[in-house]
Structure formats: C-alpha cells, structure tokens
Amino acid sequence: MENYESEMAYPISSPGVQKNEDCECLNSLAKNGLGLVNPEKVFTFYNELHSYLASAGIDGVKVDVQNILQTLGAGHGGRVKLTRKYHQALEASIVRNFRNNGIISCMSHNTDGLYSAKRTAFIRASDDFWPRDAASHTIHIASVAYNTVFLDEFMQPDWDMFHRQSLHPMAEYHGAARAVGGCAIYVR
C-alpha cells in the first residue's frame, strides 16, 4: 500500500448523524481509523485491483460503504472534492476493466456520491437485507420501492439479495416484489 501513499483517516460524522444513528461500526472507525488511499493515487489503486480481478475472470464488483467518504474530507479539500475524485477514479477503472460497466454501488445514497457518479449503472436501493429478521421484510420492500422512485431516474436500482429457497417463508413475497419493482434479479 506504500505506493498508494495511504494514510490512516478518522471519520467525522455530523452531529445529526450521530444523534439519529448511533452506529457501532462508524464509532469503531472513528476511534480506530481506516486506510485512505491518497486521492491523487486512487485511480492507480482501483485500476491495479480491477485489472487483477478481470484477469482472474471476474466481470464486475460490488463497491460497498461508499458513503464513508463524506466523513473523510478534512485535509482533502472537503467531502465533495474527495468523493468526486474517488468516484471519477472508480468509474474510469470500471470502464477500463469490466466490459459491461460491471459495478453495483452500495451504501452510496449520500448526495455527494449520487451526483458524482456519472457512469455507474447499478445502485443498491436498500439497507442490508436481513432474511432471519421477520420484521425486516416489509420495511425492506417499502424502503426499496420508495428509494427506487428517486434512484431510477439515473441508475438501475438493485433491491439486494433474497433467498428463493422454497423453505424461506418470505421467498414468494420478495420474488413478487422484485418482479414488479423494475429491479435486476441475479441468477446463478
């Protein structure tokens, strides 16, 4: 990681986020930090990673936790500049290494991320899917349906995975919602 000039960075959330969502993961990152690639070297990082994956037969990537960039802008010209730099590098690398714009953009609903993404085709329209939490299914479908109304204007919404297993009591519910939801369904 030396050649990418990575440094430890410590997320700083807004008071509103801290008050509304006390997140253990974000609190841990704020305390312990995370490695942040120098924004001037981030294309090289993405390109080397993606070219390796493509050479191994991988045809796309899911890029998660993109909204963390909005908490790391201090010392990098602000959150908008940092997010834009990262998204430009990410999308340039995706176009270069994956023939069919192979990216699912996840945890990226922050305004800076949405408006910096110019070529990303798919965006996760939901929070994480929790198949074992019976109370989560209805709110999951409602959330992605509402988010799709906005996100569908510029990206193809992805409604997260679901289990088609006949043993799962909500499989038909999720399948039907996705069938009418206009979202991608992945089959392997």
Q: What is the DSSP string of 63-82?
A: E--GGGGGG--TTTT-HHHH
**Mean pLDDT for the chain?**
87
* Strand, coil or helix: 51: helix
Give whichever of 44-58, 102-116, 131-145 has the largest mean pLDDT: 44-58
**CB burial of residue 99 (10 Å; 0-12, 13-18, 19+):** exposed
Q: What is the pLDDT of residue 178?
A: 84
pLDDT above 90 (res 39) = yes
pLDDT above 80 (res 166) = no
Give whichever of 11-20, 34-43, 140-149, 175-184 has the largest mean pLDDT: 34-43
- What number is the average pLDDT over the span 116-139? 84
Q: What is the pLDDT of residue 6?
A: 95
- What number is the average pLDDT over the span 24-47? 93
Pair of tokens at residue 123: 């965006």
pLDDT band at residue 164, thresholds of 50, 70 and 90? Answer: low
Q: What is the pLDDT of residue 4?
A: 96
Rounded CA-CA distance 50/163 in Å is 28
Q: What is the pLDDT of residue 119?
A: 84
pLDDT above 70 (res 187) = no
Pair of tokens at residue 37: 């690639």
pLDDT digits (tens, 9 = 90+) for 71-108: 898 899 998 999 999 999 999 999 999 988 888 888 88
pTM of the model: 0.84
pLDDT above 70 (res 163) = no
Instruction: Compute and round to an integer the Cα radius of gyration of the chain.
Output: 18
Rounded CA-CA distance 67/152 in Å is 19
Distance set, CA 44 to CA 6, 90, 186 (Å): 12, 10, 30
